[in-house]
Homo-oligomer: A and B are copies of this chain.
Amino acid sequence: MSVGVVGLGLIGGSLARLLAARGVDVVATDASPASREAARAAGLVVADDVAGAVAGRELVFLAVPLRAMRAVAAEVARSIEADATVTDVGSVKGPVRAAVADAGLGGRYVGAHPMAGTELSGFESSDVGLLDGVPWAVTIDAETDPDRLATVLGLVTGPLAGTAAVLTDDCHDEVAALVSHVPHVVATQLLNAVAGAPVRDVALGLAAGSFRDGTRVAFTDPARTEAMVTENAMWVASALRKVVRDLEAVLEMLEANGPAHEFFHAADAVRATWVPGRRPVTGGDVEQVPLEGDWPAALLDRCTSGSVVVRVTADEAELQVHR
């Protein structure tokens, strides 16, 4: 398998490093000469432009910022091999699919999003371990070619040692709003509230673990967070509406000296069973899902209830799904 990676930021850089470390034939590029130079110094094979990273590659990752996705997809379309597959690492999936389709690459696209990151940016923050063995979301639509899906899943569950939840773009974008985008917005608000308070200096001096962890992702490049959130505006707004409703209910209970028991205990079942950073364990059964017949429904049903693809058979005809 030959892979091209367009974009050498935190995620693209970490992806290229991990692929190279696992012996995958990978060529990467970035619009920034400094990033290309740093990547070469780190031992990666780096092309000077998009055409050089894409020509002759079987699989191409778009790993550029969301705001650049449309322009870069068009550039990739000019150099990509006739049969190559296109995927990405973007934190929203619906808008990326639309950008790729507008570039004429819709029929060969499989969406992908590694669920990992840090509050840092740029190749200098990338790390060979960042994406090693992480959960991925991989997205499909009614037109997705099962062979291309198997190609992406094979890379994710093989050299990248990850698992993959196969989802619709909408399901991904709803989940991403809940577990990533809204937490970024809320962290930003917590930081803003202190930054704008008359008691700011004493508050920052006394802030301890709950504030540090609650605002960690607010130290992400705000432009990147803004792009992520605005690209997923519909799902984020919907989730934020629930945040607002829930917090209004809490503050009304507080003002009325009423019981807030229900709010504080609503997630007790999750507290009792879920360990952050570990998948919920649901029995450990592995079943086979052939990529034939109504495979999209079979896969989406399983993954929406928490199963993940853990392996692709050598002939790429069947997936092993862990539930």
Seen from chain A, the residues whose Cβ lies within 8 Å of a Cβ on chain B are: 115-118, 134-135, 137, 165, 167, 171, 174-176, 178-180, 182-197, 199-219, 222-223, 225-226, 229-230, 233-234, 236-237, 239-244, 246-248, 250-251, 254-255, 257, 260-261, 263-271, 274, 276-277, 279-280, 282, 303-306, 308
Contact = CB atoms under 8 A, between A and B. Distances in A.
B192 A210 contact: no
Give the most central of A134, A234, A263: most B CB within 10 Å.
A263
Nearest to A279: B205
B178 A199 contact: yes
A264 B209 contact: no
A109 B282 CA distance: 53
Nearest to A187: B214
B213 A167 contact: no
A52 to B, nearest CB: 32
Given A183-B213, A201-B282, 14 more contacts: A115-B208, A171-B202, A179-B210, A187-B210, A191-B271, A193-B239, A209-B217, A210-B217, A213-B217, A214-B214, A214-B216, A225-B264, A241-B251, A244-B247
Contacts of A280: 201, 204-205
Nearest to A118: B209
A191 B183 CA distance: 10
Contacts of A236: 251, 254
Given A134-B208, A208-B116, A197 B225 contact: no
B254 A233 contact: yes
5 contacts: A135-B206, A174-B199, A183-B214, A226-B264, A244-B244
Give the most central of A184, A200, A207, A261: most B CB within 10 Å.
A207
B192 A266 contact: yes
Main DSSP-derived SS at the A contact region: helix
A304 B178 CA distance: 37
Contacts of A234: 254
A252 to B, nearest CB: 8
A230 B246 CA distance: 16
B179 A203 contact: yes
Contact of A207 (B179, B186, B187): B179
A265 B243 CA distance: 21
Given A214-B214, A267-B195, A276 B207 contact: yes
A318 to B, nearest CB: 21
Contacts of A197: 178
B175 A276 contact: no
B248 A208 contact: no
Nearest to A206: B115
A218 B180 contact: no
A45 to B, nearest CB: 28
Nearest to A176: B206
Contacts of A115: 206-208
A306 B205 contact: yes
